[in-house]
């Protein structure tokens, strides 16, 4: 699976947009970009995923660059409850390797 690089930590003011970057320069054509987050003392929670088009759901937006070497997760109006570790993961469509490979993620602290 392609390796991802994320900043270890970020701060964001409550009510402002949080933009979390992820580099995946070795991503291959059949790999999707997934985002999960983990709030303290809970298991990881699925946020969004995409292949090459930008995606939006009720939680967030995912912007993938045209060359697919990087992406940005956008939380449009961050709240204190969005404080968590955010993981960017790339995963092949179906190669028999079905597990998610987590890195260290970005610890997002939303400030009041």
Partner 1 sequence: GAGVSQSPRYKVAKRGQDVALRCDPISGHVSLFWYQQALGQGPEFLTYFQNEAQLDKSGLPSDRFFAERPEGSVSTLKIQRTQQEDSAVYLCASSSSSGVGYGYTFGSGTRLTVV
Residues lying near partner 1 in the complex (CB under 8 A) are found at 32, 34, 41-46, 49, 85, 87, 91, 93-94, 96-105
Residue nearer to partner 1 on the CB measure, 105 or 110: 105
Residue 7 has which token pair? 């900043």
CA distance 28 to 18: 27
In whole angstroms, how close is the CB of 24 to partner 1 at the nearest point?
Answer: 15
Tokens of 29: 């054509």
Nearer Cβ to partner 1, position 58 or 94? 94
User: Shortest CA distance to 89 belongs to which of 103, 78, 75?
Assistant: 103
Name the minimum Å distance from CB 98 to partner 1: 4
Closest approach of Cβ 85 to partner 1, in Å?
8
- Residue 10 CA to its chain's centroid (Å): 13
Residues near 66 by Cβ (< 8 Å), separated by ≥ 6? Answer: none
CB of 16 vs partner 1, minimal distance in Å: 26
Closest to 101 in 3D by CA, of 20, 24, 18: 24
Nearer to partner 1, 24 or 91 (CB): 91
Q: Specify the residue, 58 or 112, whose C-beta has the smaller distance to partner 1.
A: 58
């Amino acid at each position: 699976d392609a390796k991802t690089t994320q900043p270890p930590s970020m701060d964001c003011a409550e009510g402002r947009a949080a933009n979390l970057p992820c580099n995946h320069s070795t991503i291959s054509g059949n790999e999707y970009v997934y985002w999960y987050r983990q709030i303290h003392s809970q298991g990881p929670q699925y946020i969004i995923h995409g292949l090459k088009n930008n995606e939006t759901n009720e939680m967030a937006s995912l912007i993938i660059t045209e060359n697919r070497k990087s992406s940005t997760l956008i939380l449009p109006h961050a709240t204190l409850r969005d404080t968590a570790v955010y993981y960017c993961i790339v995963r092949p469509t179906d190669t028999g390797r079905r597990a998610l490979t987590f890195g260290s993620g970005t610890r997002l602290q939303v400030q009041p």
